[in-house]
Structures are given as C-alpha cells and as structure tokens.
A and B are shown apart, each in its own frame.
Chain A
C-alpha cells in the first residue's frame, strides 16, 4: 500500500482539548486532502492543499484547520475538541498531472478520534 502515514491511529480525548492529527507522505505528491468518515458512511472532504502554503476548505464545513509548510506534511488541528468531532479522519495524497484527468488518491489508514 501507499507510503502515507497517519498518527495516532486511535485517540480518545476530553472535551476542550487541542489536538493535532499528523499526516505525512513520502511520495512527493503536491496534492493532499483530509476526509472525514463516520462509521458505515461516505467520505466528506474537509480540507485540501495543492502545494506548500496552499490550503482550501472542502465541501463539508469543519472547525478544524490545516497547514502545509512542507510538501510531505499536512497536519490537521482542532483547537477545542467536542463530542461532535468524534469520527474517523482520513488523509490522502495524489500526484499533480498537467491534464484534465485526476490521478488516484493514496490514503493513510486513518485516525479514529473519540471526544468524551
């Protein structure tokens, strides 16, 4: 499987805490994404980046923020976690192609976040 790593795999944290979910890829991909997935449900795009210092919000409104200071690193931060943030967070990356056809996404194994 792809070389994209997410840590931690599981996180249980109390309400109000600040958390950062880490995502790193070793493939040199320019594009990176964060998706949120509830159990048995579809994925929703919450953030994406086309390169260093480029970040955009996705289709699903999220209280999280992201940064892209290095190509390989795309962390997601929640300043004050709430129970409604309980979900699985999946990071993905893809190669930039100078065409109208997108290249496939490579996913990490996800972080399952539980906020109590």
Chain B
C-alpha cells in the first residue's frame, strides 16, 4: 500500500473548533511535509518537519512527528470556513542520507469547516 496513509479520510467541524489529521508512513524519511489542496486547484505547501524535529508551528498550524511510530499529526487551531480543503501529508524517503525529491503523498483528509 502507499507510503503515507491519512486518518480520518473526512472530517467535518464547526468554525472555531480544532481539527486534527494524522499521517502514518512505512519507511525512514528525511522529512515530512503537509500540503493543502482547494477543490480543483493544485497543492500548496504548508509546513515541513525534518526527521530530527519533533514539533513545529506555523501560525495556527502545529505539526508533530514521531519517527519511532512513523506517524505525524497536523493540528489546525481555531478553524475557519476558509480552511475547508483537502490536506495531504507527503514523505521524502531517506535514501542513504540523500533526498531525491520524490515525495510520496497520502490519500488526504477532506476537511469541511461549517460557518
């Protein structure tokens, strides 16, 4: 199966609530990235966390990485209707310490934030 698997597949919340999405992967990585995709558009990079980092923040986003469990989570705090989108994790596999830039994407979590 695919390198990145995300959970849940779909998440529906009210504005102001927090949204948490999880990603699991199989092989060792250089870094893990999260992307957002609005309907009918390309993906937009949100945040990158390196394999030697455990937590990273960017605005209302908080990402954690647990390399022992091969998992990551993305938390969006105080969600807004404009956060409605699909969210993908992508892993950059570790090939002997070199990154070839061939990201492997999960199947995504569809987030719906109701106003």
Min CB–CB distance A44 → chain B (angstroms): 8
Chain A residues lying within 8 Å of B4, measured Cβ to Cβ, are: 42
CB contacts under 8 Å to B, within A35-75, are 35, 40-45, 48, 50, 58-59
Chain B residues lying within 8 Å of A92, measured Cβ to Cβ, are: 42-43
| CB atoms of B102 and A59 under 8 A apart | yes
**Minimal Cβ-Cβ distance residue in B for A31:** B101
Residue from A1, A100, A110, A112 with most neighbouring chain B CB atoms (10 Å): A100
Min CB–CB distance B45 → chain A (angstroms): 4
Q: Select which of A44, A90, A100 is within 8 A of B98 by beta carbon.
A: A100
CB contacts under 8 Å to A, within B39-92, are 40-45, 48, 50, 88, 90, 92
- The proximity string for A residues 84-113 relative to B, scoring 1 for CB distances below 8 Å and 0 otherwise, is 000000101010000111111111111010
Counting CB contacts under 8 A, is B22 at the interface?
no
| CB atoms of B30 and A102 under 8 A apart | yes
- The proximity string for B residues 82-115 relative to A, scoring 1 for CB distances below 8 Å and 0 otherwise, is 0000001010101001110111111110100000
| CB atoms of B30 and A42 under 8 A apart | no
**Minimal Cβ-Cβ distance residue in B for A35:** B105
| CB atoms of A48 and B42 under 8 A apart | no
**Minimal Cβ-Cβ distance residue in B for A91:** B42
**Minimal Cβ-Cβ distance residue in B for A107:** B42
| CB atoms of A102 and B101 under 8 A apart | yes
11 further interface pairs, Cβ-Cβ under 8 Å (given A101-B99, A105-B90): A1-B42, A4-B42, A45-B103, A100-B99, A101-B30, A101-B92, A102-B92, A102-B101, A104-B33, A104-B45, A112-B40
